[in-house]
Chain A
Amino acid sequence: MAGKANQDKALTVDGLTVKFGGLTAVDAMTFDVHEGEVLSLIGPNGAGKTTAFNAITGYLKPSGGNIAYREANLVGLNPNQIADLGVVRTFQKTSVFGGQTAFDNVLMGLHRRQKQTALEIIFGLPSVGSEEQTMREKAREVLDFVGLGARANELGSALPYGEQRLLEVAIALAAHPSLLLLDEPVSGMNPSETASFMDMLGEIRKLGITVLLVEHDMKMVMGVSDRVVVLNYGSIIANGSPAEIQKNPDVIRAYLGERHRKTKRGGRGKRRA
C-alpha cells in the first residue's frame, strides 16, 4: 500500500496525451479523482473530455501518459478488463441495447456480477437457475433505483429520450462500478428530469461510488461536484472547488465564447455529429 496521501486517490491521470494525427485532443492532462468524491470535468465543445474518457476506459490508446486506478495500471487494458476493475462509463451519444427490454438491458449490465461458466450453463446446474433468479431481482432493484421500474418491459429503443439516458445509467450501475464515469448524462433532459437526476446522483454517491462527471449543465455541475477540472483545447486550465472555478478568470474567458456559440447553434445536433 502506498502512503496516506495516495490512499484516497482512486483514479490517477498523469500526463495523459491523445493525438489524432496532427490534432492533440488531450494534452498532458494530469488530475486525480479521490475515493468517494464527485469530480466534474468541464470545458467547451471539443475540449477533449470525451477523448479523455475514451482513453481512461480503454477505448483509445493514449499517445502518452499514465492512468492508474487503485494501483492498477489501466493503459493497455481492454475496456472489459477495465470494467472488471470497477471502472464503468456511460456514453455521450445515447447508448442502450435498443432491441431488448429495459429489464434485459439491465440484466446485460449485470454480466460482471454473475459467475456461471459456459459448462455449468450447458449442463443446466441448479446453481445457474438460482443465480438467474437473484439476478432478476437485482435487475428489478436497479431499475427501481433509477426510476424505470414501470418501464421494465418496454424496448430500450421505444423509451423516450430522457428515460433512455436513465437506462444507460442503470446498465452502468448494474455492472457494479466503484468509479462511474458519466458523459453528459443529462443532455437532452428537461429541467425537472435534470433535477431528479441530481438527486439520484446523491443516492449513487451514498452507495460509495466515486463519480467522474462530464457535463455542460453548469447548474448541475456546481450543485453536485466536490471539485471541478476545466479543460480547454486539451489542456487543464483550472482545478478547484465549484466556488473557485466560478470566479476563475481563465474559465470565464473560455466559457464566454462557448456560450455565444451555444445560443447561435441552438441545440445539440452538431455536437453529436
Chain B
Amino acid sequence: MNRQLIEVGVVLLFASVPLWLGNLYYLHILITTGIFIIAAISLNLLLGYTGQLSLGHVAFFGIGAYTSALVSLGFDLELTDSYTFVFEPKPVWFSFLCGILFAAVCGWLIGKISFKVRGAYFVIVTISFAEVVRLVALNWIDLTEGPMALNNIPPFTLGIPGLWELTFYKKEPNYWLVLALCVLSFVIVRRLVESRAGRAMIALRENEPLATSVGVDVTKYLVLATVVSAGMAGAAGGLYTHYVRIVDPDVFLFIYTVTMVIMVITGGKGTLLGPIIGGLIFGILPEALRGVAGPEVQWIIYGILMILIVYFLPQGIVPALTNWWRQREGHQDPPAPKETAREVVN
C-alpha cells in the first residue's frame, strides 16, 4: 500500500514536469534521457539479472528505429527489373509495434545462436551483430537511404482517424508518451524479476549448476531475457525515431551501447531503480555540462565521474544507498526484524 502510494506520487511528479518546467530545451533533454532510460532498463534485464553482457545492445534500438521508420514511411524495393515491391505507409502505432516485434525476433535469433556457449561468446556475437546491422543500414541505400538518412518520419498520433486525432508534434505529448513507456518497461521488468522467470535468471547468474539441478532450463530463460530486452530496446528506438523524425546509421554507434552500459553499472546493475538513476545522471549530465565547458572538458568530467562512481560504489549507486539506509535504520532501532521490512516491500 505504502509502496504503491509512493510510486504513484513519483510518476505524477514526473508527469507534471511539462506543466512547470517552462523550457522546451530542458524538456527535450528529458525526452531523450527517458528514451535512453528505457534502453538501459532493457539492458539491465540482461546484464543485471542474467549476468550476460550485450555489447551490441544498440543494434536492437536501431532495428526498432529503422523498422518503425520504414513501415510508417513505406518503401519500394526493386526486386527484379520488372518487379518492384511496394510497401504502403502504415499508421505509426502499427509501425512502432513492428519495430518492437522485429527487434525481439532478432533478440531471439541472437540468443539462440550464442547462448550455447555464453559469456565472452555472447559479447562477441552481440558486438558483431551491431556492426553488421550498421553496415546494412549504411549500404542498403535502396531501402535505408544509407548516410543520407530517412527523413520526414511521421510523428506519433493518437485517436481515431477522421474523428479526432492528436499528432505528437509538440514536446509535451512526446514527453508523456516516453514517460508512460518508461513506467511500462519498469513494470514489465519488475514483474519478471519478482516471478519464477526472473528468479530463474538470477539463479543462473548466481550459480548455474545449482540452478539446473532444480530444473531451470538455461537456454530458455537466457533467450527469454534477450527477447524481452531486445523488444524493449526496439521500443526505445521506435520512440526515438518518431520523436526526432530522422534516422541515420549513426544510431548504431558503439558509444550508445557504452552509454547504456554506464547507466546500468553506475546506477546499479541487477536493481530495478539502477538504470533509472544511472540514466537520469548520465542522460542529463552531458547536457548540463554543455553550457559550462567545452566538449573535451565535458568528456573528461564525464569520464572522471564514472570512474569515481565505479571505484567508490562498485555495485552502483542504488545498492550503496540501500545499504546506507539499512545501516542507518539499524542504528536507530536495532533489532527491527528485516522480516517486516521485506513484507512491506513486497
Contact = CB atoms under 8 A, between A and B. Distances in A.
A171 interface: yes
A102 to B, nearest CB: 12
Contacts of B224: 118
Interface stretch (B24-32, B77-85, B90-98, B215-223): B215-223
A97 B203 contact: yes
Nearest to B343: A136
Interface in A150-169: 152-153
A204 to B, nearest CB: 16
A69 to B, nearest CB: 14
B215 A111 contact: yes
Contacts of B339: 152-153
Contacts of A68: none
A124 B191 contact: yes
A67 to B, nearest CB: 16
Interface in B187-213: 187-188, 191-192, 194-197, 199-200, 202-203, 206-207, 209-213
Contact of A80 (B192, B196, B197, B212): B212
Given A96-B210, A98-B206, A111 B191 contact: no
A83 B215 contact: yes
A267 B211 CA distance: 29
B209 A114 contact: no
A98 B207 contact: yes
Nearest to A78: B212
B279 to A, nearest CB: 22
Contacts, number: 97
Nearest to A153: B338
B212 A97 contact: no
Interface in A62-113: 78-80, 83-84, 88-91, 95-100, 104, 107-112
Contact of A108 (B188, B203, B218): B203
Interface residues of A, number: 39
A121 B197 CA distance: 8
B196 A79 contact: no
Given A121-B195, A122-B228, A111 B203 contact: yes
B188 A122 contact: yes
Nearest to A181: B213
B60 to A, nearest CB: 17
Nearest to A54: B209
Nearest to A99: B206
B192 A121 contact: yes
Given A97-B207, A108-B202, A83 B196 contact: no
B214 interface: yes
A255 interface: no
B342 interface: yes
A175 interface: yes
A57 B213 contact: yes
A96 B196 contact: no
Contacts of B217: 78, 80
Nearest to A157: B206
Nearest to B188: A122
A99 B211 CA distance: 14
A97 B215 contact: no
B210 A111 contact: no
A152 B346 CA distance: 15
A111 B218 CA distance: 12
Given A98-B207, A122-B188, A109 B214 contact: yes
B338 to A, nearest CB: 4
A246 interface: no
B307 to A, nearest CB: 25
Contacts of A233: none
A116 B194 CA distance: 12
A122 B191 contact: yes
Contact of A172 (B203, B209, B214): B214
Given A108-B202, A118-B224, A152-B339, A97 B197 contact: no
Contact of B199 (A83, A91, A99, A104): A104
A100 B202 CA distance: 9
Return the 9 tightest CB-CB contacts between A and B, nearest first: A83-B215, A112-B215, A175-B214, A79-B212, A114-B196, A97-B206, A121-B195, A108-B203, A153-B338
21 contacts: A79-B213, A83-B212, A88-B213, A91-B209, A97-B207, A97-B210, A100-B206, A108-B202, A108-B216, A109-B214, A111-B199, A111-B215, A112-B215, A116-B195, A121-B195, A121-B196, A122-B191, A122-B228, A135-B196, A171-B214, A172-B213
Interface of B: 187-188, 191-192, 194-197, 199-200, 202-203, 206-207, 209-218, 224, 228, 337-339, 342
Interface of A: 57, 59, 78-80, 83-84, 88-91, 95-100, 104, 107-112, 114, 116, 118, 121-122, 124, 128, 132, 135, 152-153, 171-172, 174-175
